[in-house]
Structure 1
Amino acid sequence: MPARTLPGLGAMLLSLFVVSGLAGLIYQSLWSHYLGLTLGHAAYAQGLVLAIFMGGMALGAWLAGQRGVRWKRLLMLYAAAEALIGLFGLAFPGVFASYTALSQDRVLPALGVGLAGQLYPWVSAALLILPACVLLGATFPLLSAGYLRASGEPNGRVFGGLYFANSLGAAAGALVATFLLLPAYGLPGAMRFAGVANLLVAAGAALVSLRLHEQAAPAPVGAREAAHTPPRSTDTRLARKLLLVAALSGGFSFVYEIGWIRLLNQALGTTLHAFELMLAAFLLGLAFGGWRVRRRAAALANPLQAAGFAQIWMGVSALLSLVVFAQSFQWVGWLMEAVSRNDSGYLLFSLGSAAVAIAVMFPAAFFAGMALPLFTVSLLRAGGGEAGIGRIYAANTLGAIGGVLLMMHVLIPLIGVRWGITLAAVGDALLGFWLLGTVRSGLARTAGLAALALGAALGLSMAMGKPDPREQAAGVFRSGTVRLSDESEIAFLRDGKTATIAVARSGAHDSAAIITNGKSDAAMTLSLDASPRGDEFTMVALGALPLALHPHPRSVGVIGWGSGLSTHTLLGSPKVERVETVEIEPAIHAGARMFGERVARAYGDPRSRVHFDDARRFFASGQRRYDVIVSEPSNPWVSGVASLFTREFYAFLRSHLAEDGVLVQWLQTYEIDDALLATMLAAVLQEFPDAEAYLAHNVDLIIVAYPGTRHGADHARLQHPDLSRELKRVGLGNADELALRRIGGRDVLQAFVRALNAPVHTDAHPLVALRAPAARFRGESSQTLQLLVDGGLPVLDMLDGRTPLPASADIQTFVDHRFTIAHREAATLAGALRNGPETADMLAIGDEDRLMRLEALLAMSGRTPIDNLWSWSVAAADIAEASLGLLPADDLRGAWIAPSWIDRGSDQHPAVRHILAMYAAAAHRDSAGMRQTGEAVLQLPDSLPVKMQEQALLIAQLGAIGQRDFAAVESLHQGYGVALPHSERLRLVRHLIRVWALDRRQPGAGKPQPQIQDAVPVTVPPPG
């Protein structure tokens, strides 16, 4: 008998194990982040961490089981294991930083591209976390055996309770890590939090051990069992069967986990939040399965029989999970319609996503949670002793490793996710029937009913468990569209190792799109004779810009295959000698072949080489250096992708560029907000001394960064027969079209970053991965940098020395490129003001409201004086917004400079004369005149529209900047801007100009920022 038990011993130890489980899953979650930086893809990192996590635990459990009988104070040893894990957690951030630097700077360059270089990241990453995993594996057998020694409870109650506690803590840990700790403390802080949690558990366990005065010799386990299970010698044959069954059961369970996550990614989205919700759902099922065993411990007359039925029902539930999954697209579609696109709606969407994950995972996970405690009880009742606890736990976790590796590297590539789950489910059920056969206790009738249930579930799974490929490719989690239209043909659908890849073709538009887990990554028309799709503007520009910006782009590295069009474009230049494209998912490369001749050079040109690898590992091996690196990853909200937008990654890329090299980075401005865009730009600017931004497409930026000399764009470098037609088709056919797409240089980008007070995006603080999923859900879009060009005022003329293109410039107009539309409308409006509307193609003004305001403006301006100042001002401000900042002074003569469409004489309304003088000064880019006339308009006693007042404020401030009187910018804000409401369109532009001026008054980073003030609601009524 135990020396002495404590009141509430069970509750104390269960509470400690809840915290231990929480810390353990925090480690697993954070290790996935850390090792993703080494292995390059979240799916690979998650798979490796899961395998090593389970493998280390298997080894630790086996060691603890082998030696547990000899140890005297098991609870004290358990406390020591928890303490060592805690110390490991505290030290890990520093160890990983040193490991990364050593690997990238020395080891990988030395190993090169051979097998050793390929294996090193995997082996070294595994060894990095293995010691902690071994200790984690030892905790369950140590605590459970110590608990059994100290209490008189049935072993089924003990094992079920501990499994429940640990799994419940683990489910909480998956959520706490992602939703609380990472946003608050980053990777190092979250890791240290888990370490402190382990140390607290160690202290609690040590206190319990000291108060119990643990005996040197363990009490015989069999003596505490129910009357029907007297102690007996070990049944060696049964013990071996149980170890095999535990291993197979663990393997099947983790085939399910990997498969479910891969499937649900298509319905819920491949985001960090979605992954953690799925993981928590799986662990919750395991927890309640353990709780079920704890509750039924006293009635477990035959635990082996119960384990057999648990296996059968696990297989049946896994088959039915495919039927449930096939309906999940409809549920997510309903959820997207039901909730608002705001933060509260995202919370509800996340809860709904968790409910969908629970519906798919919980039933089978519940029976999986029953299995391990039942196996352990069966082994102990067979006379296995305390050593059996560690052995059964080790076998189960060893099987889990096999399941992870089998699913990821064999089943998914060979037969796909759905069939992998089906195979595991049938194997689980057959395992259960085999267990029932060993019991031989008259269960023929019950087993027959179970067999019928299995057959029915298999039939349902075959008939209703296959999702519609059009639903898999629709991306319901983004748009709410459950299914692609019938005109879309799914021409390619393959489960790759990291994602499910589809190619959808539309016959009506002769176009195709390559889709990753439901998210379209690239779309294009299949013929050069058809109008280009939006993505084509970006993909062609990604290839064309470095050719125009670098005089000798001999060697090019491309991160991400996508459609292959960027690589194809690069190879259109004979100056390019080699393009090495690194893609981590081979199925993307296979699917993109469907684009045919549109990407022919990428596949057929001997200068093109594709490598299926992680960019970090590939670039580091062989000490590669490139003249150009093009980085075109998917959207930052996709799990794992945000790590390609961090300061550390940009420092790594810079080290692999030649001194006069060029980095070309695609940055999406859709499904993301200004703040997140700024934090990624801050990372670029931290590592590159020079950078500039181009707009490739309405919502796609291209950031070009230079480690050294900027050569300047030369469109003549693009004059090659293979390129000319492709470039002209997307509006890059001449120098004017290329110049139109440039937004501004480093100073403009730095002002944008400072205006948002954006922190530098780093590996340790993955803000983008954590916040971008919610921004995507809200439908955010970053427009500020675009508004600097087409916002209507000469902002970039004063800040970046930009010269607007003349109205005569040879520029094609595309609905997918807002700058081309803005330039056309500006030229049309200026011509209509100068020569009358009958001389202009009024259809070129795409905005019908603006066309009506133009007509109203000209009609009202025919009377002197203006009899309705308010209405006239509304129209004038709108037309000025669309024309003033987009054309040079010569094209604004007769429009805003000496306007011919209105009488400016002494009989005109004084306010009108002031307004026209202000617009004329802005059109001339006359700094002194802009400051003087802008302030004069702000001082007018007449009520003017907010838009015109904002224009006056900005014109005055830009004039002050032109005069280099930077202090006056803030004085104007304090004098007029504080009381002037901020329009949503110009709110951040106004703040950016203040930050620009402040930086020039107080040069250097880290200066105090003026705060963005909320708009003050001021209603300005029309006169009369």
Structure 2
Amino acid sequence: MALASRARAFALPTALVLTGAAALVYQVAWGRMLRGVFGVGDLANAAVLAAYFLGLGFGALGGGRIARRAGRPAFAYAALELFVGLYALASLGIVPAIRDAYLAVARDASFGTVSLFRLLLALVVLLPPTLAMGASLPVALAAATGGGEGKAAWAPHAALLYALNTCGAMAGAAAAGFWLVPALGIRSSIVVAAGASALGATLVLVAWRGAGRAVPAPAEEQAPGRPGLAAVLVAMGGFVSLASEVLWTRILGLVVQGTTQAFAAMLATFLCGIALGGALAGRWLRAMTRHALAYAITQLGVALGTVWAMAAIAQSPRAIGLLTRSPNLTPSQTWVLVVVAAATLLPMAICIGATVPIAWRLATGGGEGMPRAAARVLAFNTIGGLVGSLTAALLLVPSLGVDLTAIVLVGVSLAAAAIAARADLTRHQLARAVALLGPTALYAVVLLFEPSVHLQYLMRARDLPVDAVFGGPWAAEWAKPIVFLREGRNATVTVQRVGSRSLQLLNDGRPESGISVVEPGFGVELVALGTLPTLRAARTERAAVVGLGAGHVVTTLLAGGWHQVDAIELEGSVVDAARLMHKALGRPFPLDDRRARTIVDDGRARIAAAPPGRYDAIVSQPSHPWLAGASVLYTREFFADVLRALRRGGVFVLWVNRFRMDLPHLRQIVATVSRTFPDVEGFGTPNDLILVASAGGARVAQGEVSRRLGAAPALTRILEAARAWPIERLLSAEDLDRRAAMRFGRGAASITDDRPTFEYGLSHLPVATWVTLPDLDRALRRVAWTPPPGDPASRARLLLARIDAVRGRPVALARIELGLAALELPGSLDDLVRGALAEARGDAAGAQSSWARTDAPEALIRRVRLLAEEGKDAQAVLAVAGARDPPADASFAGGLAALRLGRWQQAASLFERAGPGLDTDARRTAGAAARLVRARAAGACGEPEDDAALRSDPDLLWTAAVCALDAGAFARGQRLAAFADVARRSRAVALGDLGAMLAGGGNDRAAVRALRLALRHNPAHGAAAGALARLVAKSGVAGKDEAKRILETALQAARGLPRTVDQLLATAAQLDIEITIEGFASSADQDATSTVSPAGMAGSGE
């Protein structure tokens, strides 16, 4: 008998831990599975939450009845858990089946009908298991007390079991969030959880084997309790508990980012606090007699815990900086997430955890019928939690904001404390008054001090880590740049000023888009997202954009002539923010165009519900893929929905970040898209990769592309402003064609809804992890780069644009050369391209040799420019003069060369010949230059007539300055001379930057050439001289001697520029070069002194 008693004492607590863990795994897994059906919008989440908590609440009520009537409550508990486990296994087939039913209705139904149908389907799926889960704890408590007989120690024992069950839930939340789902997948996690349910049921069945039937207690013997009061109080407590969970998940998401691991850490910490509170309440219940007063104390603790959480979260960026000893205030380490969540939530959660056991004792007074009373308490607590979570998510936070919502919850907790205290303090009028006035006074104090989470500080801290850590949240500057802030149902949306010319859009503190006064107002990656559908789709009729951002993709699509564009945005506040941004800069808002349609809903759900073949293009620009909600837009299942929603010949364009990304994860994305679509391309932009996937059909002919661009002048203007025109400049960014995409993704696992390793893996990457375009080149070094099929001339133009674009990437140049043999271009075009390749590699002689063999007009342009850059102006003029019909750009370059030689008449003739073939601005410059040099040749130059037209070239500006001085216009002459000097220095800076970029990419030969050119324009360019010296010094003694000459020449030119001199002397010291020219310190002197400027030289203000 004693052995059986010990077995039962072990079996039931163990079973409650196991089934508590299984319940949270089910919640996480079913939530993710239904997210794939309904989407991640607020109403979709509310439908799932409502179904789940309704089931738990009504299940608890039913559990009380079962506990009272069951002869063997232990067997009933085991049966309930076995049913949950079996249903969980069945759900693996049920959820996919309801997806088909949902899509069948959603394709034609209104938004309201779809929302109601979501709730109905969620109830169908979740009510059966949640009813059983809700009933299981009351029945388990009945089993622990032998069928409900009254025992003085019932409440403490029940509190311990409640704490153990919650402890299991904590373990399940942590296991699902950190290990089960990423390691095994959602379906396998459900199987593991079903095994835990079955194991718990089996332990109870074995331990109670042979036990007799329990005798229910007669109703008339129940001790007096306060069930009505307990129900009201515990419902208020449940309201605060679940509303707090929603609220603090939202706030902590601003600090730790909205990753699944962050949510798991927060939920596990919250449940840990509840488990601790339940265990502490069990010990407290042994001594307490005033149960309502005890409940009041816990609610007082919840209120103070909420105020503490507001103060703690406002210091969390500083705490993260101190914990990680890093300027990165977005933690990816699990332990940091747990510490931040615990420091914020644990005090409040412990107090919340104590409320249910105390309410049990309050409801029964410690007498008979306690399991049934416990069931009622659990039911009211759960229903209160349901109302609280929905109210917080859909009403309080969107309408009041997080600060006021927290203060409202403090008020509800203090109201519950006042009600409970007044119920226990009935004998003395003064005590009753204190019970009412004490919480009221405390609430007044809270309102007086206006506690705040300092939302603006939390959102901007990661961008200004030093100010955040040392300055704290109280500085007024945190709010100054913010011009729009709205706490929507799904995200906190802000718009902030960046300098004086730009605005930035942020969701939960993460940059999403922006707008600038500089045309076109947005980056080239957005230009590409909006332009590529126009170039690749078979028809330009109907497009969808998933994720509005600031609306720039919609703007570009409309400029491309699309007939209808559906903009699908999850958060309605983003639409208002984007409208404000456009209005602030005086730009038309694209969604006001009659061809645009705004849809505020979940993008994945909308695409899934679209009729087959509805769209000709779908552009997806979701938020960052390591976030829990956005990651579903990178899975195989979503891509399959996209393919089904596209018409044949349609295209899918996907934005992929290369920041916070590594090659294995990038391979996963490319592999997943390539296994879904028959043809995939990838276009590299400075920070991103744009994937373009075709739904089949022939590629759009070049003639049709030209026709579309010719009919879309607004798009052409956008491309010109973004420096992506001619169109070959944009198309030359293609780093992956179909062959390269297949090769790049080979062997990588597909991203699926079931096993979200992609999302989990990215969330653990340091923020500074990048995949650079050279990284991509090295991964594809054996895959030839070839332009798409087309006529030889267009392919040659694209090759030239590609060479110009990747000159800093030697492996990319090698891929081009690898593909040239297979292209079989005509000889003249082949020589043109090979010459460009040689020039890009710094081989000027090889380039000239190739271009001399071809009569292609582009070859002459490039040849003349190269000769001029090399200082061979006479040869440049001769090459133009010897051509039968030189292109306008070659004539203009020849005119500049003749100008430098002082051949005024020849220069004027070449400028005049060039004029008609140039674009508007260049034609204006050529005309002004021709008039200037003719006047100069005639010796009657006078004042230059058009200063602005001459500012594109320092030689033209200098000639104009001389003319002005000769005419006696000294002020204008000095101004033009200053402009000429600025233009010369600017050109040197550009060439120096190019040289640094080429050197960084490993193209040393081309880098040396660019840096020499920089020094020709500005011999005192310290950075260029230092970089050139370091490059040439690599070649041994001779190189070191040349490096010394370079540095000494630059030092001579830099006299009067102390900072430049210091820079050059530091480079000499690094290379162990002794500077011997008079007035400068040698490298030997550097050992004894700090960096030395020329003797007696004052600062020059360079």
- Give TM-score, length-normalised by structure 2: 0.70
How many angstroms does 1:77 deviate by? 0.2
2:115 match: 118
Which of 145, 149, 153 does residue 146 from structure 2 map onto? Answer: 149
1:546 match: 533
How many angstroms does 1:330 deviate by? 2.0
How many angstroms does 1:478 deviate by? 11
CA deviation string 1:629-663 (max 9, x = no partner): 11111110011211111111111111111111111
Provide the C-alpha distance between the structure 2 equivalents of 1:239 and 1:432, rounded to a whole number of angstroms: 17
Given that residues 682 and 734 in structure 2 are in contact (C-alpha distance below 8 angstroms), is that contact kept between their aligned partners in structure 1? yes
How many angstroms does 1:435 deviate by? 0.8
CA deviation string 1:156-197 (max 9, x = no partner): 212211121111111111110121111221111011100111
Q: 1:90/1:218 Cα in 2 relative to 1: closer, same or farther (>3 Å)?
A: same
Provide the C-alpha distance between the structure 2 equivalents of 1:90 and 1:281, rounded to a whole number of angstroms: 28
Given that residues 20 and 168 in structure 2 are in contact (C-alpha distance below 8 angstroms), is that contact kept between their aligned partners in structure 1? yes
SS in 2 for 1:580: strand
2:764 match: 774
CA deviation string 1:565-594 (max 9, x = no partner): 1111111133x2111111111111111122
Q: 1:715/1:369 Cα in 2 relative to 1: closer, same or farther (>3 Å)?
A: farther
Provide the C-alpha distance between the structure 1 equivalents of 2:466 and 2:658, rounded to a whole number of angstroms: 20
Given that residues 828 and 845 in structure 1 are in contact (C-alpha distance below 8 angstroms), is that contact kept between their aligned partners in structure 2? no
Provide the C-alpha distance between the structure 2 equivalents of 1:635 and 1:846, rounded to a whole number of angstroms: 31
Given that residues 487 and 506 in structure 1 are in contact (C-alpha distance below 8 angstroms), is that contact kept between their aligned partners in structure 2? no
1:330 match: 318
Deviates more, 1:825-834 or 1:127-136: 825-834
Which of 436, 451, 457 does residue 471 from structure 1 map onto? Answer: 457
Matched, 1:751 2:740: no
CA deviation string 1:455-485 (max 9, x = no partner): 5676467646324444233262997874897
Matched, 1:503 2:495: yes
Deviates more, 1:434-443 or 1:84-93: 434-443
Matched, 1:514 2:511: no
2:515 match: 524
Provide the C-alpha distance between the structure 1 equivalents of 2:36 and 2:763, rounded to a whole number of angstroms: 20
Matched, 1:555 2:542: yes
1:959 match: none
Matched, 1:357 2:341: yes
Q: 1:201/1:541 Cα in 2 relative to 1: closer, same or farther (>3 Å)?
A: same
Q: 1:683/1:478 Cα in 2 relative to 1: closer, same or farther (>3 Å)?
A: farther
How many angstroms does 1:380 deviate by? 1.6
Provide the C-alpha distance between the structure 1 equivalents of 2:81 and 2:658, rounded to a whole number of angstroms: 45
Provide the C-alpha distance between the structure 1 equivalents of 2:699 and 2:1006, rounded to a whole number of angstroms: 46
2:387 match: 402
CA deviation string 1:188-216 (max 9, x = no partner): 101110011100011011112225x1433
Matched, 1:255 2:243: yes
Q: 1:607/1:384 Cα in 2 relative to 1: closer, same or farther (>3 Å)?
A: farther
2:403 match: 418
* AA in 2 matched with 1:274: A
SS in 1 for 2:145: helix
* AA in 2 matched with 1:18: V
Which of 564, 589, 592 does residue 604 from structure 1 map onto? Answer: 592
1:580 match: 566
Alignment of 1:227-238 (within 5 A): 232=222, 234=224, 238=226
Provide the C-alpha distance between the structure 2 equivalents of 1:122 and 1:409, rounded to a whole number of angstroms: 15
Given that residues 90 and 196 in structure 1 are in contact (C-alpha distance below 8 angstroms), is that contact kept between their aligned partners in structure 2? no
Given that residues 85 and 198 in structure 2 are in contact (C-alpha distance below 8 angstroms), is that contact kept between their aligned partners in structure 1? yes
Provide the C-alpha distance between the structure 2 equivalents of 1:214 and 1:826, rounded to a whole number of angstroms: 94
Provide the C-alpha distance between the structure 2 equivalents of 1:527 and 1:819, rounded to a whole number of angstroms: 31
Matched, 1:490 2:487: no
Alignment of 1:48-447 (within 5 A): 48-104=47-103, 106-109=104-107, 111-149=108-146, 154-211=153-210, 213-219=211-217, 232=222, 234=224, 238-338=226-326, 349-381=333-365, 385=369, 386-440=371-425
* AA in 1 matched with 2:358: L
* AA in 2 matched with 1:216: A
Matched, 1:682 2:671: yes
* AA in 2 matched with 1:136: M
Q: 1:472/1:47 Cα in 2 relative to 1: closer, same or farther (>3 Å)?
A: farther
Matched, 1:736 2:702: no
Provide the C-alpha distance between the structure 2 equivalents of 1:37 and 1:622, rounded to a whole number of angstroms: 15
SS in 1 for 2:785: helix
Q: 1:786/1:701 Cα in 2 relative to 1: closer, same or farther (>3 Å)?
A: farther
How many angstroms does 1:265 deviate by? 0.6
Which of 630, 653, 660 does residue 641 from structure 1 map onto? Answer: 630
CA deviation string 1:486-508 (max 9, x = no partner): 69611111111111111111243
How many angstroms does 1:60 deviate by? 0.6
Deviates more, 1:588-597 or 1:136-145: 588-597
Provide the C-alpha distance between the structure 1 equivalents of 2:671 and 2:805, rounded to a whole number of angstroms: 33
Alignment of 1:496-895 (within 5 A): 496-508=488-500, 510-528=501-519, 536-550=523-537, 552-574=539-561, 576-596=562-582, 600-621=588-609, 623=611, 625-711=614-700, 714-719=705-710, 720-754=712-746, 757-777=747-767, 779-781=769-771, 783=773, 786-787=776-777, 795-797=784-786, 805=798, 827=840, 829-831=842-844, 838-839=870-871, 843-846=990-993, 854=1005
Provide the C-alpha distance between the structure 2 equivalents of 1:270 and 1:813, rounded to a whole number of angstroms: 36
How many angstroms does 1:686 deviate by? 1.5
Given that residues 489 and 506 in structure 1 are in contact (C-alpha distance below 8 angstroms), is that contact kept between their aligned partners in structure 2? yes
CA deviation string 1:39-95 (max 9, x = no partner): 322766655444332221111110111342121110110000000111112222222
Given that residues 474 and 481 in structure 1 are in contact (C-alpha distance below 8 angstroms), is that contact kept between their aligned partners in structure 2? no
SS in 1 for 2:685: strand
Q: Structure 1 vs Structure 2: percent identity of aligned residues?
A: 24
How many angstroms does 1:783 deviate by? 4.0
Q: 1:792/1:871 Cα in 2 relative to 1: closer, same or farther (>3 Å)?
A: farther
Provide the C-alpha distance between the structure 2 equivalents of 1:193 and 1:258, rounded to a whole number of angstroms: 28
Given that residues 564 and 602 in structure 1 are in contact (C-alpha distance below 8 angstroms), is that contact kept between their aligned partners in structure 2? yes
Provide the C-alpha distance between the structure 2 equivalents of 1:456 and 1:793, rounded to a whole number of angstroms: 72
Provide the C-alpha distance between the structure 1 equivalents of 2:447 and 2:317, rounded to a whole number of angstroms: 16
Given that residues 561 and 588 in structure 1 are in contact (C-alpha distance below 8 angstroms), is that contact kept between their aligned partners in structure 2? yes
Given that residues 322 and 461 in structure 1 are in contact (C-alpha distance below 8 angstroms), is that contact kept between their aligned partners in structure 2? no
Provide the C-alpha distance between the structure 1 equivalents of 2:647 and 2:540, rounded to a whole number of angstroms: 10
Deviates more, 1:621-630 or 1:605-614: 621-630
Q: Which has the higher contact order (CA 8 A, sep 6+)?
A: 1
SS in 2 for 1:76: helix
SS in 1 for 2:325: helix
Given that residues 267 and 477 in structure 1 are in contact (C-alpha distance below 8 angstroms), is that contact kept between their aligned partners in structure 2? no
Equivalenced residue count is 840
* AA in 1 matched with 2:754: A
Provide the C-alpha distance between the structure 1 equivalents of 2:665 and 2:232, rounded to a whole number of angstroms: 50
* AA in 2 matched with 1:773: S
Q: 1:579/1:811 Cα in 2 relative to 1: closer, same or farther (>3 Å)?
A: farther
Q: 1:296/1:722 Cα in 2 relative to 1: closer, same or farther (>3 Å)?
A: same
Provide the C-alpha distance between the structure 2 equivalents of 1:187 and 1:198, rounded to a whole number of angstroms: 16
Given that residues 328 and 465 in structure 2 are in contact (C-alpha distance below 8 angstroms), is that contact kept between their aligned partners in structure 1? no
Q: 1:80/1:260 Cα in 2 relative to 1: closer, same or farther (>3 Å)?
A: same
1:33 match: 32
1:961 match: none
